[in-house]
Structure 1
């Protein structure tokens, strides 16, 4: 729902006041949403002074400066009379959804504390509470899988060979857990941004001609090995001091070249 409402709000904003839409890159930020909802009329935003802006939650000097700069050339299309109220209502709804999401994530984090598998998976950088919860729920127990390859196939991280003659290639298994795969792909993508070795490995795969998803799955395949080994050894993922790499005995071996 958040994505649907946010996309609609962004489209309406771009239509009635492009300059206002360009103040921030991400329209779901607290400061921007609070700005949109601080007045009953969208056009009143162009008349707020600096003191009023700074009294709005989440807005600091830098953000207020961007708003003031926009105010000097603020433009609203004629449609703002009836589209403006819809934008404000969408902004209010996004705030409510974000609050609900935060509450749910807190509950999820409390539940995860009772799961050893969640502790193991959640210790990996980038594997946040939501993705970890999704993975733990879909995996259930490691005893279901005979090997780490079986787990990799289940989570869609082990493409099958579809080479024929001179043609070389792979295909994604059809019998996979789609929810688990989506959670794994999201978590690994976050891991790439947080761990330098992961970023280098991802870039290496891209330089080899792999697509974004293929490169993420390649790293995800390695992460499955790490998760499998950590689970069997009852270890967690750690970061060596001064280094951006794993440190969990052989499970923390550098990402393969």
Structure 2
């Protein structure tokens, strides 16, 4: 998978113990890697976001760094990132959205025992 080389791959295996059955779904793996901030609004107080302290920072780093490098080397990731930026998201928000998407892709690859195959560019024949 573009963006996950030998070092990040080793960090991923160390963080997950190489056993995907511990998580059950891509959502649980993503939550273990670092959930999105959850609102803790009360009464007239709004916008009070709190990030839970129980998540694996090393695994979060794996997905964030792989998303950062895939923006440069993978056209599909670059398109997704640019689409999020055009929707008005800041750089960090767009990278985190890409990292979350990569969790789903990696989960599907591991579940099905497949290798990553980049999408073939569509030919312009009519």
TM-score range, shorter chain: 0.7 to 0.9
Counterpart of 1:9 in structure 2 is none
Q: Is the 8 A contact 2:63 2:102 kept in 1?
A: no
Specify which of 216, 231, 239 is matched with residue 118 of structure 2: 239
| Greater alpha carbon shift after TM alignment, 205-214 vs 181-190 | 205-214
Q: Tell me the TM-score normalized by structure 2.
A: 0.79
Give structure 1 regions of 4+ aligned residues with deviation exceeding 6 angstroms: none
Counterpart of 1:150 in structure 2 is 28
Question: Closer, same or farther in 2 for the Cα pair 1:195/1:167, shift >3 Å?
Answer: farther
Counterpart of 1:179 in structure 2 is 58
Please identify the structure whose Cα radius of gyration is greater: 1
Q: Which has the higher helix share?
A: 1
Question: Equivalents in 2 of 1:166, 1:132: separation in Å?
Answer: 42
Q: Which one scores higher on RCO, CA 8 angstroms, separation ≥ 6?
A: 2
Aligned length: 119
Unaligned regions of 5+ residues in structure 1, if any? 1-123, 245-257
Question: Equivalents in 1 of 2:112, 2:82: separation in Å?
Answer: 30
Q: Tell me the TM-score normalized by structure 1.
A: 0.42
Counterpart of 1:213 in structure 2 is 92
Give how far 1:227 is off: 1.2
Counterpart of 2:5 in structure 1 is 128
